[in-house]
Structure 1
Amino acid sequence: MTPAINIAKKAGIHYTVHEYHHNPAVESYGEEAASALGADVKQVFKTLLVAMEGDQKKLAVAVVPVAGQLHLKSMASALGCKKVEMADPAAAQRSSGYLVGGISPLGQKKRLPTIIDSSSSLFETIYVSAGRRGLEIELSPRDLHVLTSAKFADIGR
């Protein structure tokens, strides 16, 4: 069990865990997950950490479809700051407690401001990392929103 799965279990929400064989040579973890699960790439979401105002100690979480990219200006606006940049991978791993490619929006070591792309509302359930490569958790966007105290915003493109 990962911290992400433990959070979902403790909350008593409806969720499904999906495990698949992760290929270490793959470059896009999210697309690999979508393919392995037979899911729409718009329904599988990646978890990205950003540094607010360029400060690698002031991080936030973006949850966006693997089919697109994070729009940094929209993310900054959603967070109410002037600018964001992608967090350094080492800083993301330290803060979240997860390895890059397996960072879950759930069960991170520190609770960070979290923004979920509003396209998630198009689906009854979405897939996000369950805390390690090759492991996804399927849950409703609303439950993810509640468990992470997130906001919804148009942050993907």
Structure 2
Amino acid sequence: MAKRAGGKAAGGTPATVALTAAGVAFVARPYDHDPSAKSYGLEAAQALGVEPARVFKTLLADVDGTLAVGVVPVSAQLDLKALAGVLGAKKASMADPAAAERSTGYVVGGISPIGQRKQLATVVDESALAHGTVLVSGGRRGFDIELAPADLVRVTGARTGAIAR
């Protein structure tokens, strides 16, 4: 997999800058985003010709009063109870979109698990580890990043667990 050099030239997002700074190999995967798409993740999978099980969405949850990140395949839903369990918490609910945007510095539909404004506890669904590469948002709508799942886990400081249903 080719490493994109130069951070800003590789997509111009905090995610690409963070990956470049960490020396992580990735491929920028831009596509034409349709603002009327009902599912940004499924749109990305279709536009990029990638099976939905390899394209992961970034969801923010309120876990016992603290924001946390769940990264699950676009073909699945985040199991909030499982996310709370992996993080040793009692309960979780979906975060307010405005709070998610303030915390991450990204807009909903373009939230990347990488290069967020504030480092949050992150859990990547363990199914990611079954793939050679996975795709996650690159930090804006219409822009994904392809990288090895182990690199995703490492660069985000994530735990892995069965958090998709």
Question: Structure 1 length normalisation: TM-score?
Answer: 0.97
**CA-to-partner distance for each residue in 1:35-58, whole Å, 9 max, x for gaps?**
0000010000000000012x3xx1
Within the candidate set 122, 127, 150, 2:158 is matched to 150
Q: Which residue, out of 61, 85, 102, partners 2:93? A: 85
Q: Match for 1:132 among 109, 133, 140? A: 140
Aligned to 2:6: none
Which of 28, 31, 34 pairs up with 1:23? 34
Of the three residues 55, 72, 78, the one matched with 2:80 is 72
Q: Name the residue aligned to 1:103.
A: 111
Q: Give the corresponding residue for 2:46.
A: 35
Runs of 4+ in 1 over 4 A off after TM superposition: none
Q: Helix, strand or coil: the match of 2:50?
A: coil
Matched, 1:2 2:21: no
> SS at the partner of 1:42?
helix
Aligned partners of 1:11, 1:52: CA distance in 2, in Å? 28
SS in 2 for 1:48: strand
**Counterparts of 2:121 and 2:158, CA distance in 1:** 7
Q: Unpaired runs of 5+ in structure 1?
A: none
Report the count of equivalent residues: 154
- Partners of 1:46 and 1:7 lie apart in 2 by 18
1:128 deviates by 0.1
Mapped to 1, the partners of 2:63 and 2:25 lie a distance apart of 33
- Distance in 1 separating the partners of 2:113 and 2:129: 17
The CA deviation at 1:14 is 1.2
Identity over aligned residues, as a percent? 52
- Structure with larger RCO (C-alpha < 8 A, sep 6+): 1
1:128-150 C-alpha deviation (Å, 9 max, x unpaired): 00000000000011001110110
> Given residue 161 of structure 2, which amino acid in structure 1 is its aligned partner?
A
Structure 1 match to 2:60: 49
Structure 2: give runs of 5+ residues left out of the alignment.
1-11
2: CA distance between counterparts of 1:109 and 1:8?
14
Normalization by structure 2: what TM-score?
Answer: 0.92
Cα distance, 1:13 vs structure 2? 1.5
